[in-house]
Every structure is written in structure tokens, then in C-alpha cells.
Chains A and B, each alone.
Chain A
Amino acid sequence: MAEISAQSIDEVLRRQLDALDLSVEAREVGTVIQIGDGIARIDGLKGAMSGELLEFIGESGKTVYGLAQNLEEDEVGAVLLGEVTAIRENDQVRTTGRIVEVPSGRGFLGRVVNPLGLPIDGKGPIKSEGTRPVEFRAPGVIERQGVNEPVQTGIMAIDAMIPIGRGQRELIIGDRQTGKTAIAIDAIINSKGKDLICIYVAIGQKASTVATVVETLERFGAMDYTIVVSASASDSAPLQYIAPMAGVAIGEYFMYNGADGKPANAENPGRHVLCVYDDLSKQAVAYRQMSLTLRRPPGREAYPGDVFYLHSRLLERAVKLSDANGAGSLTALPVIETQAGDVSAYIPTNVISITDGQIFLQSDLFFQGQRPAVNVGISVSRVGGDAQIKAMKQVAGSLRLDLAAYRELQAFAQFGSDLDKATTDQLNRGVRMTELLKQGRYMPMPVEDQVMAIFAGNRGFLDDIPVEAITRFKAELLQYLRASRPEISTAILAERRLSDETSEQLAEAITAFKAQFSVEG
């Protein structure tokens, strides 16, 4: 260890103080007229810009940052982002000429930060590689390209029927306790080794819930490529309001820069990012609180008129960049909580109309044991089909329609018992396919396993297996295929399609497994 001498301390101090800018400059100052509920009304600051970062200097010299929101004739309305109690009437406020920025970089991976990018996990300071503005114009048409790569969530019902592509915005919507967060967490866990950086933004949640999510991600080794941005229920409304924007800004750093930290381009590819906003209903509530205390006029459900714009400008930042821009992507998985399944409320309809599809989760399915409780009838993905691998398209192409037909028949069959053979067969197939799609929590499946399992169902291999044995059959079949016929999954992964030869091998392997499978267990 190097010896510490008085001279070396002196040198270090001198070197650091050399960087100190002692020039005196004129800055615009205002005075806090009134403060309360995290909102400050400021006299002066005639030159303040909308969304500008303001510096509040408390009596004790403590600096608290704020965000200029309302620019009125005589005063400026601002929201405080830090310790609200440190600021009082008559305290000074300065403009900074900057908008709010968050630090980002590889040092953030595996860390839990607040919406200002400050660590809250007790693991010490984070070395940032750069900063990104919290508010940023979404890329235009020319800078983008079509979504063409999949985000594998590892959930069979989603990857087969509601596929999500890199750069897509797919809404996860449902009542409380229907497994919305579980789907997002599964998607993060399944991204291991898939060149995807994940950002999980927790908005207005209990700190204990966030701690559980972090613990789960750590348990599955997913924190190595994940950043958690948390504005918990005890944080101020402005912090909850900027949390999703801070999350996307942290993610954009990776997308707009290559692995070397330099701007991405055709030679220096940008990285792929998955952003989960859990959930935007709470962000909208925080924004409503902020707007009402700023005395902005309330609109439907007392939300301000620009709550649609708030969500649309956030979700427009999800993008698949063109090759010239590095071909990076940012996929958005916003979460919306509904009340008693009411999707026609203001915020759910807004976000449904903004996103490229939605995954509906239903309480009744959840309690029937259908987990994940995805209602595949009304869930859609508008662009993800282009991102599905061909093998999945081959086996799951008609799955949605088959299951829809099954549900229709199932409702009809409840009225009578005399059904023809074709109808009985269809009902049998439907109930088995539904059973096949059941999947445990935090048990994502690789895409090749999904293809093989759906293949077995589609080809009728499950038709004579009792419904209660389907889950076990699926698990044991996949185990058998991995152990005895690894060349099949290798071929699916390599060719990304099911060739006639692979189909034959797979059918043959399933027949062989079925011969040894015992229904009794």
C-alpha cells in the first residue's frame, strides 16, 4: 500500500482544487413566496424555462433541486425533487439553464437507485459514464426501423400468441394480484445471456415490495444486467412523476451508446434495453396530485388535460433504431392496474391506445388456476409477429384461433350433453392446450422448449393424456428431449424453423417418450 504523506495529501488537494472554477457569474434569482405539498411558488425568475432545473438554497445552505412547471405572468410554480422541509418562504431560487438529467452507465447495473440516479441500496457511490436528460425527444421516423427481433419473455402463452419484439411497447394490464409484476419479472429473468439490459422502474410501490423484487432478481442472477429505479409510496409526487422518465433515460444511455461508451452507429452497435414501468397508473396519480397542487385545471377523473401526452411522450421513446444509428432498441413494458376489470377508465384507455398491444390478465382466470392469467382472446400484439422466430410461427400460428374457437364451443357445450365427435375432439384439444399453457411463477422456458411443447399439443400427442397429467407430461417430455434428443432443440435454435426433418424427429421422439410415460405417475 502506498504511504500517505503530508505532501501527497497536499498534492491531491491542490489537483482537485485546480479544477475549481472561481469565476463569478450573474445568475437569475427568485424568491420562494409560498411552499407546501412539495410545490413552491416563486417570485421572479422571469427567464425560467418550462421543465428547467431550479436550485433552491435553504436557510442552512442546503441545496434542493426543483422543476419549473408553471410559468405564469407574476410567478413560477415549481415542484421540489428533494428534501421539501429544508426549503421555506423567502429562500432563494436560482435558474440553472439545464433540464433534469440522470447519470447512467455500466456502474448502474445491479444497483437500486432513486429517480435522480442516487444509489439507495447502501452499496456506496456509483461511477457514472455519462448523463441523459430526463425529458428527451423521441426518435423520428427516419431514425427508426421496423421491429424485427424478439424479446423472449419465457412465458409460453405470451411468446406463442402475444409475441413482443425489441422496440415494441406492450401493455400489461389487469386488476391487483393478477400477476402483472410476475410477467415483467419473468421477462427480466429470461433475458439472462440474451444481450438485453433491463430497467425495472417501481413507482408508488411499498419499499418492501421493491425489496422483494430485488431479492427475486438477485436469486435468479438477473441483477447482473438489471437496474432498479425506485420511487416508493413514501417518496414525493414529483419523484414518482419523473421515475419512468428517469428509467428510460438511464436505458437510453445504453441504446444510444455502444459498449465502448461512444455514440452508437453502424460500426459501433447500440445495446438492447427492456424497460418495465410498474406502474403507470400510480405515476398518473402522482401527476394528478402535482397538477392539482399547482392549480392546473382538472379534467376527466380530475387528471390534468395533458396526462395523455405525459404517457405518449414516455412510450414514444421505445424504439428500434435504424442500422445507421446502431440498431439498438428500447422495449417498453408499461403496467396498468385496473379497478374491477374496468378497462374503459381514463388512464387504461389512454395507455391501451398508445401501446402496440396489451396483455390482459384476469382475476377469474387467476383464481381458476390458469396462471399466468392471460386472457388470450382480448390480448394482442400488433407488431410482435414480425419478431417471432419462424419455428414458433409454424407451431403457434393457429393457436390463438383454435383457443378462441374452443372457448366459444365451451360456452355453447354447457347447454347440452349430446355433442358430435368433432366438437368433443375440439373441446378435448382445447382443454389440454389451455392446461399446457399453464406455467409456474419465475419458471421461464427457453423458446425451443416452448416450440417442442406446443408441437406436442398441436399434433394431438396430448389428446389421450388425462388433463391432470398434462403439466407433468410437459415437464418430463422436455426433460427427456433435453437428455436423450438434444439434437432436436439444437436444430430448432440453429435453423430457427421446424424443418420437415426436425418435425419428423420430434414426432418420433415424442412417440417414444409417450410409450414410456406413466399416467399414474
Chain B
Amino acid sequence: MIYAEVLLEAAQVEGTAFEVSGQLRALQKAVRSSIALRETLADRSLPASTRRALLEKVFAGFDPALLVVLGVMIERDDFALLNKLSETYELCAEQALGAVIIDVTTAISLDDGLRTVLRDRFSAQFGCDVLLREQIDPTIIGGIVLSSHGKRIDASVASQLERARVALTTSR
């Protein structure tokens, strides 16, 4: 996919290939969450320049290369390919960086010791570098949730409690 390749090339020049993948995910999530934003960005009755300006305003702090590529997609009426862009970009970025990107969700931020332990363990398993994309979600209460390439390992306290709830409410 040409958009993903161009974006990766630009991000590599700036040395932000990994950060852009995280921003792309966040942007994708924001667009999905807001029907108004999604429909406005894809609305062909509005001038492309207006939609582009809106995108730049809403995602002001994001990588400029990312906003430029998305702006071109809007101009060419390709904004519906956002999901595809995100998926392809991540695969290309992993190849280019020689690493696997893993999303790590915890209730409080990881300390350096735990971060190193996780990185070393996964590096040994995958036989390549590992990049941790960290996220804090207090609703998991404790433990850790790992996900990569559509696979998810949920070792959070919240899910263990949920299993206990199901066991207690369904057993006789």
C-alpha cells in the first residue's frame, strides 16, 4: 500500500517510525469513536481543504508526516482506507525496525525493571527485538494485558475476578 510505504519512509527519516504507529492507532480509535468526525472527514460534499484543516486541528500534536499522508488520502477520497493503512504500516514498520510491536496495558505505569524483564523475555521468545507500546488502564485493577497482531493474553486482575464471578453465579 503506497500510503503506508510513503509514511514509513518519511517517519524513518525523522526517526519516529515507532511513535507514528502508536499515533496512527490512537487516531484510528478516535475516528471510530466519533461518528460525526468519521462522517465529516469522509464527506465528499465538503471541500477537501476544509476536511484537511479539520484533521490538522483535531490531531494537532501528531507527527506532521502522518497528517500530510492522511491529508492526501482525504483529497483523493481514500480516507476509508485508514484501517488498512494502520495495519499495513505496522507490518512494514516491524520489518523495517526488525522488531515486534507489543501493546502492553497495565493499571499503573511500568517501572524500568519490569520493562526490561518483559522486553528480554519476549526478545528471547521471538528471536528479535521487541518494542513495547505502553498504555495505562486503571480499570484492569492489576496484572497485565499483552496484545500483538490480533492475539491477546489477558492476565489482568479484572478478568480473573470476572471469571470468579461467572464461576460463582453459574455453579450450583
Contacts and interface: CB of A to CB of B under 8 A. Distances in A.
Interface of A: 13, 16-17, 19-22, 24-34, 43-46, 61, 74-75, 88-90, 92, 94, 127
B150 A89 contact: no
B152 interface: yes
A43 B83 contact: yes
A335 B147 CA distance: 49
Contact of B172 (A17, A45, A127): A127
Given A20-B167, A43-B83, A74-B84, A26 B153 contact: yes
B138 to A, nearest CB: 13
Contacts of B139: 61
A21 B163 CA distance: 8
Interface of B: 29, 32-33, 35, 83-84, 139, 147, 150-155, 158, 160, 162-164, 167-168, 171-172
27 contacts: A13-B168, A17-B164, A19-B167, A19-B171, A20-B163, A20-B164, A20-B167, A21-B163, A24-B153, A24-B154, A24-B155, A26-B151, A26-B152, A26-B153, A27-B151, A27-B152, A28-B152, A29-B150, A32-B32, A34-B32, A44-B150, A61-B139, A75-B83, A89-B33, A90-B29, A92-B152, A127-B172
Contacts of A30: 150
A25 B171 CA distance: 22
Contacts of B33: 88-90
A45 B83 CA distance: 14
A25 B164 contact: no
Given A17-B167, A28-B151, 10 more contacts: A16-B168, A20-B164, A22-B163, A26-B151, A27-B152, A28-B152, A44-B150, A90-B32, A90-B33, A94-B152
Contacts of B152: 26-29, 92, 94
Contacts of A61: 139, 158, 162
A16 B171 contact: yes
A16 B153 contact: no
A33 to B, nearest CB: 6
A29 B146 CA distance: 11
A16 B163 CA distance: 12
